[in-house]
Amino acid sequence: MKLTLHVWRQSGPRDEGRFETHRMDDVSPSMSFLDLLDMVNETITLEGGEPIAFEHDCREGICGSCGMMVNGVAHGPDDLITACQLHMRSFEDGDEIWIEPWRADAFPVMKDLVVDRSAFDRIVEAGGYISVRTGSAPDAHAVPVPKPDADRAFDAAACIGCGACVAACPNASAMLFTAAKAAHLSYLPQGQTERLERAMGMVATHDEEGFGNCTNHGACQVACPKGISVDYIARLNRDLMKATLTGVGMEGSGGD
């Protein structure tokens, strides 16, 4: 395959960026998208240039670090995958591919395709944990959890914090991420004591970090590589309303 790549290059957060064009021959359809970027970097290095900076770790769709826009779509044209799971067979010979970093004020570009996603860490620090004493590890099935609640908690916990929801949202909202990190605790008995306080703290930090408001556009759910539902946002909003009306710190109700 022959492909023309237009890759965003930016030296730092305060520098102006630009697209840099690379024409690649002999691209195998079996290559992953990150393998293609490795191939481009090898060519750039041999020519004495500076390689393209992009994040990666597991390359198995687990760590969430490889996020980038491919032809204007978070993680590329295929559904329910991250950029590292995207393969070149998804493109046609002669295609032009535009590669950009996430675009959001809360995700400043550090270099090229690498953005600072530490705002996510601060949202989790604001309440995405259980601080009350829950005792030592109980025996199996000692604390009954209804199967539907366990399934929903597991689905929410699948969030890998890649940031695709923010990149896809026209408002650059991180409410899907915030809701998932709150829900995987609020569906479990151990998460009930701090449920309302958690909702209030995490949403407040979300807003302070500069993420936009959720207007139920739904693009976040479509872009999410783990298929996390916007239903979790509705659940978080209910908890936030209850926290506002009844006071933060009161014991939350059980699962829906």
> Residue 151 and residue 214: Cα distance in Å, rounded?
25
pLDDT for 190 equals: 87
pLDDT for 137 equals: 74
CA dihedral 64, 69, 70, 71 (to 10 degrees): 160
Instruction: Please choose, from the candidates 183, 162, 186, the residue with its C-alpha nearest in 3D space to the C-alpha of residue 174.
Output: 162
Q: How many residues does the chain have?
A: 256
Name the segment(s) of the chain with CATH classification 1.10.1060.10: 118-246
CATH class of 3-111: alpha beta
Which segments of the chain have a pLDDT < 50?
250-256
Q: CB of 252 within 8 A of CB of 192?
A: yes
pLDDT for 132 equals: 77
pTM value is: 0.92
Name the segment(s) of the chain with CATH classification 3.10.20.30: 3-111
pLDDT for 21 equals: 98
> Residue 54 and residue 68: Cα distance in Å, rounded?
9
Encoded amino acid at 222, one letter: V
Q: Note the pLDDT tens digit of each residue in 106-148.
A: 999 999 999 999 999 999 999 999 887 767 777 777 888 999 9
CATH of 118-246, one of 3.30.1060.10, 1.10.1060.10, 1.10.1660.10, 3.30.70.270: 1.10.1060.10
pLDDT for 134 equals: 67
The CA-atom distances, in angstroms, between 199 and each of 9, 141, 182 are 38, 27, 7
> What's the whole-number average pLDDT of the chain?
94
